Amino acid sequence: MRSQLSNKKIATWNEADIFNFCRTLRIASKPIVIAANKADMQPSPENILKMEAKGLQVIPCASEAEVVLRRAAIKSVVHYIPGDPSFQVNQDVVLNEQQKKALSIVQSLISKYGSTGVQRVINVACFELLKMIVVYPVEDELNLTDKKGNVLPEAYLLPEGSTAKDLANLVHAELGKGFLYAVDSRDKKRLGAEYKLKNNDIIKIVSTTSRG
Question: What gap in Å lies between CA 140 and CA 176, rounded to an integer?
Answer: 18
- In one-letter notation, the amino acid at residue 37 is N
- In one-letter notation, the amino acid at residue 47 is N
Using alpha carbons, select from 87, 42, 92 the residue that is nearest to residue 65. 87
pLDDT at 4: 72
Q: How far is CA 55 from CA 59, 102, 120, 136, in A?
A: 13, 34, 19, 36
pLDDT at 2: 63
Using alpha carbons, select from 64, 60, 55 the residue that is nearest to residue 24. 55
Q: At 36, is the secondary structure helix, strand, or coil?
A: strand
pLDDT at 13: 85
Walk me through the domains of the chain, giving residue ranges and CATH numbers: 44-125 (no CATH), 133-207 (3.10.20.30)
Mean pLDDT by 10 residues, the chain (212 residues): 73 86 84 92 91 92 96 95 94 92 93 95 95 97 94 96 97 94 96 97 92 47
